[in-house]
Amino acid sequence: MAVLKTHVALNVTNLEKSVAFYQAMFGVEPVKHKMDYAKFDIPSPPLNLTLNVVSSMQPGGALSHLGVQVDSTLEVQAAVNRFQEAGLALFEEKNTDCCYALQDKVWISDPDQNKWEVFVVKVTDTAPEKNVTVNAEPIAQGVKNACCG
């Protein structure tokens, strides 16, 4: 069976800032870097990410956010460390109830204000009728955070 690879093409207003951001985000260099275009071939998660220069755009647009789901809190922390080393502004959430799942995550925004999260799902269903405890800490139930909408 063939391995599937997601392709995301983003419009960007400043290619050099965006290339630097995505190098820090994924820890890899672009495989192609032209005057108005850059391509990243990311092995994990399998992603073909291209950046296309446009003269202007409305920040945010119809896109809510993008994300990378990882297997562990250690991987979230590795992303935090990578982002801090690159000098990127970030926001961390630990044991947050998001979309009815208990998660640890870190948020960053690219130069055009596209929001990205790197997250791990620790408990898959935190519906209001269930009591969830992680590391002896009760977790707030039924909160629909901004990540859900």
Into which CATH architecture does domain 65-143 fall? Answer: Roll (3.10)
pLDDT at 103: 92
Q: What ranges do the domains of the chain cover?
A: 1-53, 65-143
pLDDT at 142: 38
Q: What angle do CA 78, 79, 84 make, to 5 degrees?
A: 100
> What is the pTM (predicted TM-score) of this model?
0.71
- Dist. CA 27–CA 11, nearest whole Å: 20
Q: What is the mean pLDDT of each run of 10 residues along the chain (149 residues)?
A: 78 94 95 94 91 82 80 95 96 88 93 91 70 47 42
Is the preceding omega at residue 45 within 30 degrees of 0, hence cis? Answer: yes
Domains 1-53 and 65-143 share a fold: yes
Angle between the N-to-C axes of helices 15-26 and 73-85, in degrees from 0 to 180, rounded to the nearest 10: 140
- Dist. CA 134–CA 101, nearest whole Å: 12
pLDDT at 18: 96
pLDDT at 42: 94
Write out pLDDT tens, residues 36-72.
999 999 998 899 999 999 888 776 666 778 988 899 9
Enter the CATH code of domain 1-53. Answer: 3.10.180.10
